[in-house]
Amino acid sequence: MTISLDRLVDQVMAELEKKLGTVGLPDKKDAPAPKSTTEAGDLQQDKASSTGGGSQEHARQSPVTDAGSHAEESGILGFGDAASHNVPNPKWAEGMNELLANTPARIGVWRAGTRPLTREILKFRCDHAAAVDSIYGEVNQAVLDEFGMFTVESRYGNTENYLKRPDMGRIVTDEGVELIRKKCVMKPQVQVVVSDGLSANAVDANLRDVYPSLLDSLEAYGLKTGTPFFVRGGRVAVMDQIGELLQPEVLVLLIGERPGLVSSKSMSAYMCFRPRQGTVESDRTVVSNIHRGGTPPVEAGAHIGTILKKMIEQQASGVRLEI
């Protein structure tokens, strides 16, 4: 059984309030005494979001103060919805709501005394843990099997080395090179490659939507694809070596982005016309922030197909491509 991070935070807060005797009894004389006066005071400030002057106005819990992994888990996008905040008496509520409606950043989270609210601290730690899990996690093999993708590895060795030596993620192992030569169609119009990059969760969360949408788009444009495969421990420039091996017209690399505290499931699509060793970054085109709280995966797949068609028509990518 799995639950959303938002619900988990709510359950932890409820247990804390129950333990400290602060649920709905802030002013009653018969309320049970809390085990810790300091903890009870902090939780009461969490509930009232006081400014230090004893304000009893209760905070309006915001669906957008944490529009990252919690919103994704619950299916709520967050910052596009009606905005709210925790600040008791903002001087410019309209301006704050406008900001919250246009960004998933942590704005208006308020505080209890000199520290952030307990609920916000718990959400922050949940998001941080999700980011760490993305980097150190592994892509679900069932997702790759669903699309018939075989796996090769870069020379990254392990996650620690991958983080310290980006260059090793740009080179496929000798065994991987042989497997690519053996299984892949040579000189396809479009070569699709998938990699975990810095977020295995991004592949698990988005590939089932992005990839079929991309294939539909390419088919609609009459473009033929090569043999898709997965690169474990890959970096963006691994597409250059693969370009040398398979010599496609265009190559698209669907790769997990560096996770942050807004989303741990964000994917990017790096595209290049005839990638080769020594390709410079300005020759790549990228669609980033592909996740349910950013660019919708299905929409991204269709858009990527359109860009690849234009690359082939113009025989260019990156800064030379006119989109």
CATH at residue 194: 3.40.50.11240
The percentage of the chain sitting over the pLDDT mark of 70, rounded to a whole number, equals 78
Mean per-residue pLDDT for 163-181?
95
With a cut of 80, say whether residue 312 has pLDDT above it: yes
Residue 150, phi then psi, degrees to nearest 5: -85, 165
Please name the amino acid found at residue 214.
L
pLDDT confidence of 136, banded at 50, 70, 90?
confident
Question: Per mean pLDDT, which range of 57-61, 158-162, 216-220 is the poorest?
Answer: 57-61
pLDDT confidence of 5, banded at 50, 70, 90?
low
pLDDT the model gives residue 3 = 64
pTM metric for this prediction: 0.73
Both 180 and 296 in a single domain?
Answer: yes
Q: How far apart are CA 207 and CA 213, in angstroms?
A: 10
Q: How far apart are CA 95 and CA 208, in angstroms?
A: 38
How many structural domains are present in the chain? 2
| Selection from 149, 154, 136 nearest residue 230 by Cα | 149
pLDDT the model gives residue 318 = 96
Mean per-residue pLDDT for 103-128?
84
Q: Order of strands across the sheet with 150-153?
A: 150-153, 229-232, 190-195, 250-256, 267-273, 284-290
Both 181 and 315 in a single domain?
Answer: yes
Both 294 and 179 in a single domain?
Answer: yes
Both 66 and 157 in a single domain?
Answer: no
Question: What mean pLDDT is reported for the chain?
Answer: 81
End-of-domain residue from the set 113, 136, 159 = 136
Both 80 and 226 in a single domain?
Answer: no
With a cut of 60, say whether residue 74 has pLDDT above it: no
With a cut of 70, say whether residue 306 has pLDDT above it: yes
Domain span at residue 64 reads 5-136
Both 213 and 316 in a single domain?
Answer: yes
Which pair of tokens denotes residue 29? 């004389």
Q: Is there a contact between 159 and 135 (Cβ–Cβ < 8 Å)?
A: yes
Q: Is there a contact between 174 and 153 (Cβ–Cβ < 8 Å)?
A: no
pLDDT confidence of 315, banded at 50, 70, 90?
very high
End-of-domain residue from the set 136, 164, 193 = 136
pLDDT the model gives residue 58 = 36
Both 113 and 158 in a single domain?
Answer: no
